[in-house]
Chains A and B, each alone.
Chain A
Amino acid sequence: MGDWAGYLTLILMGAWVTVKLTLMGSALALVVAFVAGLGRLSRQGWVRGLATAYIEFFRGTSIFVQLFWIYFVLPMTGVALTPMQAGVMALGLNVGAYGAEVVRGAVLAVPRDQHEACIAVNLTRFQRMRHIILPQALPLMLPTFGNNAIELLKATSVVSLISLSDMTFQAQVVRSQTGNTLMPFVTILLLYFAMSSALSFGMRRLERRVTRGLDGVR
């Protein structure tokens, strides 16, 4: 038990992997969410169909199943991914599907007359989205995006099962090396809680920033 400092370093290295996974996964999820969310609102039927199929598929199965599928089945079709790539891809695609519904809901929540006013002043569809609809929809998305980011952080623990050395994986390593169970698991529980608290704090700050000045409008 004397080597606790060394084991703590191991867990902190894992924490860094967890942070990286969360950041990269969130970045991918954000892009995917907008592509798929706006895709569901497309005028083209096949785009809508594709986006709906993607969303339903990734919401209908769990991150665990998707991760194993990406890690074990894709290589057999010739696409070999490192655990990190597979992890980021599974996390991004899974949370992205939930995010897509948020994007869609927020865009639809922008009042109808805003759309009509855009048509009246002859904006193109792109201009309408870029300058009128999205700036109003974004503040509506943020709180749910914050929750999604926390879900993503929690989901990163699953990648330990494809032998990616994140925090949960390192805790298991410490457990098997020392036989001590309480210390590693309590440590990572506290670290996860600190991370998710930091995330929700950051999102609240961001929300306040984005909604500043909107009081009169809405």
Chain B
Amino acid sequence: MEWDWDFAWSIMPTLLAGFRITLIATVLGAMVAAVLGLVFAILRRSANRAVARTTGFVVEFIRGTPLLVQLYFIFYVLPDLGLRLPALTAGVIGMGLHYATYAAEVYRGGIEAVPRGQWEAAKATNLTARQTWLHVVLPQAVPPMIPAMANYLLAMFKETPLLSAITVLELMNQAKSVANSSYRYVEPMTLVGVMFLIVSLISVVALRWLERRYGRISR
């Protein structure tokens, strides 16, 4: 089967429409992951052992099971329990939840890298827990986390095709529907691959820069 440039060109608008949804899903998913990840990380450090243990187990469970199955769970099971979500919302929550468990590890690493003396100094100057986190710990913990976070952002971007399994019309799903209606698989599938590859390669360069900029802060 030969590559047909005219056909490839004609399906570009459809694919780009899908690409837009892919980007939206990635950005929203990343926001959910960033917030939930912080919640997980803080709950895991909770002084209440039961809370810390339970959170630890939930995080392990989510990390140990496939994202696809979690998406199915949110998309098919929750409606039976009375919570019906649009496909894109279900996808964003699923991806956000899954990557939140990875983000939680990054937060944990970053928080633990803050020297003990900083905590003690905060206590010594009588800061509240809120003030300690907001003004002492997080400003020091966040910059070294940025490269790792960007890495997971890229990983999440690459996982968005899974959303096509729960009927989100993102890039992969558009390509599949084009392929199914025209019986030509070569162009759509290859173009999807190329698009992901281009974004990833650019991101890798950006990642290197982030690593140089934030990776090692000199103490």
Contacts and interface: CB of A to CB of B under 8 A. Distances in A.
Interface string B142-177: 000000000000000011011001000000100010
A154 B67 contact: yes
Contacts of B67: 154, 157
Best-surrounded residue of A64, A72, A73, A185 (most CB of chain B within 10 A): A64
A62 B80 CA distance: 31
Interface stretch (A79-87, A131-139, A192-200): A192-200
Contacts of B76: 175, 181, 185
A200 B67 CA distance: 18
A62 B196 CA distance: 8
Contacts, number: 103
Best-surrounded residue of A56, A61, A153, A175 (most CB of chain B within 10 A): A61
B43 to A, nearest CB: 20
Contacts of B176: 68
Given A57-B197, A76-B1, A181-B76, A65 B69 contact: no
Interface in B183-219: 185-186, 189-190, 192-193, 196-197, 200-201, 204
Interface stretch (B58-66, B84-92, B117-125): B58-66
Nearest to B176: A68
Q: How large is the interface on B (under 10, 10 to 19, 20 to 34, 35 or more residues)?
A: 35 or more
B68 interface: yes
Interface residues of A, number: 39
Interface string A49-78: 000000011011110111011001100110
A168 interface: yes
Best-surrounded residue of A157, A172, A175 (most CB of chain B within 10 A): A157
B133 interface: no
B190 A64 contact: no
Given A72-B179, A73-B185, A168 B64 contact: no
Given A73-B189, A73-B190, A185 B72 contact: yes
A189 B94 CA distance: 14
24 contacts: A60-B201, A62-B196, A64-B161, A64-B172, A65-B189, A65-B192, A65-B196, A72-B189, A73-B185, A76-B185, A150-B64, A157-B66, A158-B68, A158-B162, A160-B68, A172-B72, A175-B76, A185-B73, A189-B70, A189-B73, A192-B66, A193-B61, A196-B63, A200-B64
Given A62-B158, A185-B76, 9 more contacts: A56-B204, A59-B200, A60-B158, A64-B159, A72-B185, A154-B66, A181-B76, A182-B81, A193-B65
Interface of B: 1, 61, 63-70, 72-73, 76-77, 79-81, 158-159, 161-162, 165, 172, 176, 179, 185-186, 189-190, 192-193, 196-197, 200-201, 204
